[in-house]
A and B are shown apart, each in its own frame.
Chain A
Amino acid sequence: MSDVVEKTLSALPGLFDSQTGAARITSRLRQLVKSITELTSKNEEESLIKQELSSMKEQVSSPNTSMMREIMVRAMYCEMLGYDASFTYIHAIKLAQQGGVLEKRVGYLAVSLFLNEGHELLLLLVNTVLKDLQSTNVIEAYMALTVVAQVFPKDMIPAVLPLLEDKLSYPKEIIRRKAVLALYKFYLIAPNQVQHIHAKFRKALCDRDPGVMTSSLHIYLQLITESPDDYKDLTGSFVTILKQVVGGKLPVDFNYHNVPAPWLQIQLLRILSLLGKEDRSTSELMYEVLDESLRRAEMNHNITYAILYECVKAIYTIHPKAELLEKAARCIGNFVLSPKINLRYLGLKALTYVVQHDAKLALQHQMTIIECLDHTDFTIKRETLELLFRITNAQNVTVIVEKMLDFLHGCSDEHTIIHLVGKVAELAEKFAPDNSWFIQTMNDVFSTGGDLLQQDVPNNFLRLLAEGSESKEEDDQLRLYAVNSYLTVLKGDASHLPQRFLQVMSWVLGEYAHLQESVDQREVIRLLTQLLDQRSVSSETRVWILSALTKISEGQTDLILDLAESLSSSQDTVLRQQAQELRQLSQDSQLYEWVLPRGAPWDSMEVDSSLSFLDGFVSEALAAGAAPYKPPHQRQEELCEDRALNLEPYSFSLPVSLSSCSITDRQSPTLLSVSSGLSGNSTELSQKAGSSTLILEGVKRVWGRDGYLRQNETTAPPVDEPSAAVQPSGQQEAAERLEPQPEPSTQNQDKLQLASSLFVGLGAGSSMSLLGKSEAPPPRFRKKPRPHESSSSSSSGTSERSSDSSSRSSHSTTDSFLYGSLLEEEPATSISAFSHTPKSSTANGLAQNKDTKEDRRANTSQILGGDMVIVRPNTFQDKHPSLVSSDLTALLPADLKDLPHSDVISLTSDPSLSLSSCRLFRDEALLLVILISNCTETVIKDVAVQLTCEELETASLRGNVMNCLEGNSTSVCHYALLMDEPHTNVSFTGTVSYQTQPGHTNTLSFSGTLSAADFIRPLVVSTEEYGKLWLSLSHDVKQNLKLLTDASDPLRTTLNALKDALQLHVVDIIGSEGIVACRLLSGAPCLLHCRVNGAALAMWLRSPHPALPDCILYHCQRALAQH
């Protein structure tokens, strides 16, 4: 009844006030709506809502549920306008619990609108939901299911799960449908909880009701996105469903404007394209239905175009079939040439997707693309640039970048600027034709992108300059050009320049200003000093500038001292400190030379990117209960888990995504076969050669290298030629459409010219270079391979970090220099200081062991106090060749002979004695064997060995005291060492005392390092035992590791490498997953679960001991890095 009144009211808004009687129930709501429609200012709104909230507060305290529904709607209004009405939340829950049907629904609705997943009040809803789920009333069950599918506390899922499962076989379709959707929600928030009902999902897919089947597709789309291989068997079902839908087998009310269930079709097409991607046999199953979809969707309605778009995408995603590709290309033509702007947009979007697979398609539509480029509509323009970005090559890069920069200059949207500027930088780096263009473009990028620019753009640029290519001459030319360009910029007005640009300029000038001999260095110093005086320059930039000044200050003591003086009273402590450093350095040229060696090549700077010198600190912190380090991508993942709509100006996308956009990267094997499909060549083997030649003949050459080829100049391919059939007729049509008028206007000529410059390099002639990565034109700036790059997938993080550190290299050396307290003369001293040995040459003997060598380097850098070490060439010579293992076995007691053992490494020596060690791996302990050899002809007496190690427990020792050691003989003593608490590395020290002459005792000290790997033992368990153990373990760590991809079976190879390095036990390898077990001696176990994740190995470790997983992870990383 109230409905009727409402109708009347909406027709007669003027009668608001006169309503009485039945309408009174909702009169307050009416009043509110009326007031809202009459609002004229924000102030009015605020006072109205405040009033409303306070009146609601009064009303909720009176227990009258009949009012409650209305109060809820009023609260929705308040919240919708942005005012907090949280006092009503509890009443929403109450209403859902107590109200009649419509009230209940509104109560649930309010809950879903007001409360988000983590809200604590949701727990109060659980009982109501449980009750309603068990209700015999369909409506109540429906309402409960709806809210469960929207918001439900994760922890309470087990409580409702059995009820939901029951609902999957409920007679009413709406209940089954809602139950499937609720399960989908559970899958999204807690996938583990619904693992066991996958079979029921399949049942839902085959449900007799199309609605239930449709709902289950959401789950499948998600599952298939995650692991397409597991669901290939369902391809047939999806194809059948799509066939039935397309064939109009669904009830008529599923139609939308006479198109059968369009959104369902779209969903199915998405699923099929995921399944058919890079899978020939699966793709073959769907060719027919895709063809039919294309054919059926001929009606001229938006929704059919939406389906077509999805269809075209699917055809280009799956394993290609020539006939379909041709039809899809023609379809795109219809989009792009449509007078309807929305369709044209979608056409551009489709084209952008498609050119990744076949760049030549852009050629057919070049005139349209050019029109769109000049379109007044921002969105269209933007999409066109995206398309151009995808087809950029070395020949058209200048024109495309120019277009992009033009667009950027007229654009004010921050998000677009950041996005596009990054792309310009990428293109410039990849295809720059010459130095001047490159530097000019990058100047444009820096000044346009300003301080919104993502940090990796300047970082990459500086890295490129710093590392250079193979030819030093070319590099220096580029650097010189940059220096000149920046000097010109700085001579002008620099006050408006973005900080990032200033930072780049000061770094380049600091490093390379000396290359420009015709400019006085004093002039450079003056320009940089001038910047320091500008107010607009941020303190971060000042630090960059000062670093640059430090580098070029040599010999200009007077200027520098003035500067240091003026800054010494600065309020900024960092600047004051730098000024102090500057002063010190400029007064001590020897020091300067050492800290900032002029022209030192990059290779001589070594960065300890694993930061291994911090290991001690890290393990201590971990032992003290600190949270383990998580790499950025993992943190990102975790952030994504509770992701919310991003309202920040922009999100930092990892550089990975940028690199994956590069065109060369897209030259997948699929592309090869695309062409082979087009050429009609069925022999897989001759794909490459066959396709390139056939395409040259088969495709009508409308556009050549120099642009449009006049029709009369082109000889049409003879009809009887075998390849003539492959010519896409769409292309021909397009060509005819594009044929210019006999007398083209000048405007048209301009466009034609633009076309020829934009689309150069995409034609058939250059298609060969597009076909294979190896034949692609080499990027102009080839980056040197980075020595520290640990893996391709994690390279983004690593490279960013290392480029960061390299761009500040000189700066941090300065730091370490000034703060390293141990630094007296030169680093060599500190090395010997560390080794605790009488002679520094013997200290180098340690370097025989790879591990120890690294540790030594790590420790050296620790002493230096920075992360940068200038590594001196190793000058040591090994005077004492190590014992071969046969010698060792001869010396060992019989009970130890069969144990696995390490190589013998020499520890130390003096003229009389030489000490070496070897590790023997016993199940319950590590035996450290120390071999003492008498190098002299005479007898050595009273030899005593003492070993200390704080972290390890010595279980037993044998033979550490000898009365006499004959000339040229060797004696053995060994220690059984136990590790109770995991430490990544432990060092031991010891001394040997001996007498060569009675009464004259000599002492020889030695030291060495043991790694946790020496204490890891394989844990032999079965898969079942592993499973049980896994669940019982509490501490877990996850990390992505490098995958050794050079072999045919990367997972197995990687696991074997780990097994060799760490004595792990590989329990089982199933598909792309492997399980591995080990333990710390005979103590705490550690289980490793490895999964191939793209180019990385996702490792998940569990152990009862909190520090053990980290420790093992560290050694795994190391083993893989060394592999």
Chain B
Amino acid sequence: MIKFLLMVNKQGQTRLSKYYEQVELGKRAALEADVVRGCLARRKEECSFVEYKDYKLVYRQYAALFIVVGITENENELSIYELVHNFVEVLDKYFSRVSELDIMFNLDKVHIILDEMILNGHIVETNKNRILAPLLALDKMAES
């Protein structure tokens, strides 16, 4: 199961956070700082999975941006690793060449995309067209 998904830049600033299990607001910052530290400390040739407390972190770096997913022990790390890539590909398709600023300016839309892909910690949709369909429909209706 997926516990949380974070987008953090190299400076450790959170760009997006989504928790699938309740975490108190006050504790999130500490958790995020911990997680980023854990991932930043790792070298390129090391594997993309880190143990963190009771769960595993799967991280993937895109330019200056890290996407980190916290998962339970029984989850398949490599499938999550690829899920992250699928997510980025979807973002790329929607924003056509996504950048950190796209994500920042469209925080709500990125969340809407994420909600289509992961629900309650489970992967619910991976088909790119289907992930984007509702958002595109919303955009269309907002324009008209």
Which residues of A are interface residues toward B (Cβ below 8 A)? 1, 3, 6, 9-10, 13, 29-30, 33, 36-37, 39, 69, 72-73, 76-77, 79-84, 100-102, 105-106, 109, 112-113, 116-117, 139, 142, 146, 149-150, 174, 177, 181, 184-185, 188, 211, 214-215, 218, 253-254, 256, 261-264, 266-267, 302-303, 305-307, 309-310, 341-346, 349, 376-380, 382, 413, 415-416, 643-647, 649-651
Contact = CB atoms under 8 A, between A and B. Distances in A.
B78 A305 contact: yes
Contact of A645 (B23, B25, B26): B23
Contacts, number: 195
Given A100-B142, A139-B141, A256-B126, A309 B82 contact: no
B119 A150 contact: yes
A382 B31 contact: no
A256 B81 contact: no
B79 A9 contact: no
A79 B126 contact: no
B76 to A, nearest CB: 5
A376 B138 CA distance: 49
Question: Which of B22, B53, B86 has the most chain A CB atoms inside 10 A of its CB?
Answer: B53
Contacts of B130: 174, 211, 253
A253 B47 contact: no
Given A72-B108, A253-B127, A262-B82, A645 B143 contact: no
B128 A253 contact: yes
B121 to A, nearest CB: 10
Question: Which of A72, A81, A184 has the most chain B CB atoms inside 10 A of its CB?
Answer: A81
Nearest to A29: B105
Contacts of B79: 262-263, 266, 303, 306-307, 310
Interface residues of B, number: 69
A82 B120 contact: no
A69 B112 CA distance: 14
A263 B141 contact: no
Interface of B: 3-4, 13-14, 16-19, 21-31, 42, 45-54, 70, 76-79, 81-83, 86, 99, 101-102, 104-108, 111-112, 115, 119-120, 122-130, 133-134, 137-139, 141-143
Given A342-B78, A416-B51, A253 B129 contact: yes
16 contacts: A33-B101, A33-B104, A184-B120, A185-B120, A218-B122, A254-B126, A256-B86, A256-B126, A263-B126, A302-B78, A379-B50, A379-B51, A380-B46, A645-B31, A646-B54, A647-B31
Nearest to A376: B46
Contacts of B25: 79, 82-84
Contacts of B21: 643-645
B102 A10 contact: yes
* Minimum-distance CB pairs A-B, first 4: A306-B78, A306-B79, A82-B29, A10-B101
B3 A645 contact: yes
Contacts of A149: 119-120
Question: Which of B13, B25, B47, B104 has the most chain A CB atoms inside 10 A of its CB?
Answer: B47
Given A309-B76, A645-B4, A645-B23, A382 B81 contact: no
Given A13-B101, A306-B78, A211 B143 contact: no
Contacts of B141: 100-102, 139
Given A10-B101, A79-B25, A106 B139 contact: no
A310 B75 CA distance: 10
Contacts of B81: 302, 306, 342
Given A302-B82, A341-B47, A146 B115 contact: yes
A1113 B4 CA distance: 42
A106 B115 CA distance: 12
Question: Which of A3, A79, A188, A376 has the most chain B CB atoms inside 10 A of its CB?
Answer: A3
Contacts of A72: 108
Nearest to B79: A306
Contact of A3 (B31, B42, B122, B139): B139
Contacts of A188: 120
A1 B128 CA distance: 24
Given A82-B26, A150-B120, A33 B105 contact: yes
Nearest to B96: A7
Contacts of B99: 10
Contacts of B86: 256
A646 B45 contact: no
Contact of A644 (B17, B23, B49, B53): B23
A212 to B, nearest CB: 11
B22 A106 contact: no
B138 A105 contact: yes
Given A106-B108, A302-B81, A647-B27, 11 more contacts: A6-B102, A37-B104, A82-B28, A100-B142, A214-B125, A342-B81, A349-B77, A379-B46, A644-B21, A645-B21, A647-B53
